[in-house]
Amino acid sequence: MYKLLTMLMTVATAAAAGEVDRPAALAALQNPGTVLIDVRTAPEHAQGALPGAVRIETADLAQRIALVAPAKDTPIALYCRSGRRSSAAQDLLLEMGYTQVINAGAYEQLREHLPSR
């Protein structure tokens, strides 16, 4: 029974992973303990970034995440240019055991809805 429940929870998490959930991200960002991560490249980040965001490209995330979110239950919101890289980053963090990871989607759309932090 335990194995079945674990498998169902894994499938449910995998199905939800990757999808942009801007309302959940905006709600999470109301909590000062939420880590906001920009997974865009340095040139993209130089064109503008959200206040308080830490830039870690998806390729470097596995090596650097513990520096900004050592606890696996840290709320994390991810964004990129379109939502695709933040989706991949979300999947990676979930595979690593992080439990509160939200794909906030595209920088431009998130910026429109986010008050100054």
Instruction: Please tell me the distance from the alpha carbon of residue 5 to that of residue 11, in angstroms, as a whole number.
Output: 10
Catalytic residue among 25, 39, 77, 80: 80
Q: Is 80 a catalytic residue?
A: yes
Over the range 39-70, which residues count as b (16 or more CB within 10 Å of their CB) and which as e? Answer: bbeeebbeeebbeebbbbbbeebeeebeeebe
Provide the pairing of β-strand 101-106 with 76-80.
parallel
Q: Which residues are catalytic?
A: 80
